[in-house]
Amino acid sequence: MVLTDRSYGRMYISMNRRAELETRRVTANLPVKLVNDACQVTGKGITETLVAGLERVKRSAAAAKARALKGKLRLTIDIETSRERAHH
């Protein structure tokens, strides 16, 4: 896929609207096969695939942090009260 200045501009605007985040342009030397394989798995372009991978890294770190809390929090939950609230 060849991106022209015009198509790149549309993609850039579209991504910013979707994510509503500030973006940072980066240059990186990445293994071609890894990038191609990842794009094939996601069915998306390079930028979208890299964003998905970075989000997964972030979620993984949050999950590890949550696992580290296992056994350190003491919660008292009334299951019946919890179920009642879910029905309203």
Taking only the tens place, the pLDDT of each residue in 12-43 is 666 555 556 788 899 999 999 999 999 999 99
Percent of the chain with pLDDT over 90: 42
Instruction: Identify the pLDDT of residue 22.
Output: 85
Q: Is the pTM of this model over 0.85?
A: no
Percent of the chain with pLDDT over 70: 72
Domain boundaries, the chain: 5-70
Instruction: Identify the pLDDT of residue 18.
Output: 55
Instruction: Identify the pLDDT of residue 82.
Output: 81
One-letter identity of residue 82: S
Q: 44 vs 1, 3, 52, 53, 60, CA distance in Å?
A: 12, 14, 10, 12, 21
